[in-house]
């Protein structure tokens, strides 16, 4: 590379690295799921093992590994499952059961399939840790 090109490339690279470091986004899935339509989110705190059931009123299945547990605002928690959950991306529905007042990373969700006039439980998948987020507006 010629020196004049190097003089232009280095400041450009440094600017890109600085801009990338300005935002802290929740983890996005890797591999086949990496090209999904998971919206970017700003991380607002450290990961949590459990979240109170009363703190979210909506869930959004983003892909086969990512679920956002949201409050009425654009805030909530992003859960990236340790492994892809069969059927979650296509059905976009799941159930969970807990005897506690919170949902934890040790809990299991079940994908729900539409069967006739009802819902049928499918694959069982473990949750990951909950990352506090704020979605972009």
**pLDDT score recorded for residue 71:** 92
Residue 2 maps to a domain: no
Q: What is the pTM of this model?
A: 0.73
Residue 87's CB: how many other CB atoms inside 10 A? Answer: 18
Q: pLDDT tens string for the chain (137 positions)? A: 444 544 444 343 333 333 333 333 444 444 444 455 799 999 999 999 999 999 999 999 999 999 999 998 889 999 999 999 999 999 999 999 998 999 999 999 999 998 888 999 999 999 999 999 999 86
SS3 category, 14:
helix
Residue 110 maps to a domain: yes
| Domain span including residue 42 | 24-135
The count of structural domains within the chain is: 1
Residue 46 maps to a domain: yes
Residue 112 maps to a domain: yes
Q: Determine phi and psi for 66, rounding to 5 degrees.
A: -120, 125
Residue 9 maps to a domain: no
Residue 31 maps to a domain: yes
For the sheet with 58-61, list strands across it: 41-43, 130-135, 75-80, 66-70, 58-61
Residue 72 maps to a domain: yes
Residue 118 maps to a domain: yes
Which residues have CB under 8 Å from 81's CB, separation 6+?
Answer: 65, 66, 67, 125, 126, 127, 128
């Amino acid at each position: 590379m010629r020196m004049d090109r190097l003089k232009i490339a280095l400041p450009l690279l440094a600017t890109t690295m600085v801009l990338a470091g300005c935002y802290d986004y929740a983890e996005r899935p890797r591999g086949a799921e990496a090209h999904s339509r998971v919206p970017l989110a700003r991380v607002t705190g450290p990961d949590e093992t459990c979240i109170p059931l009363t703190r979210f009123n909506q869930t959004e299945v983003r892909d086969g590994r990512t679920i956002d547990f949201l409050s009425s605002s654009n805030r909530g928690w992003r859960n990236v499952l340790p492994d892809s959950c069969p059927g979650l991306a296509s059905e976009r529905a799941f159930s969970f059961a807990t005897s506690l007042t919170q949902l934890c990373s040790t809990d299991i969700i079940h994908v729900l399939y539409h069967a006739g006039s009802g819902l049928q439980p499918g694959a069982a998948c473990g949750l990951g840790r909950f990352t506090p987020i704020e979605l972009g507006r």
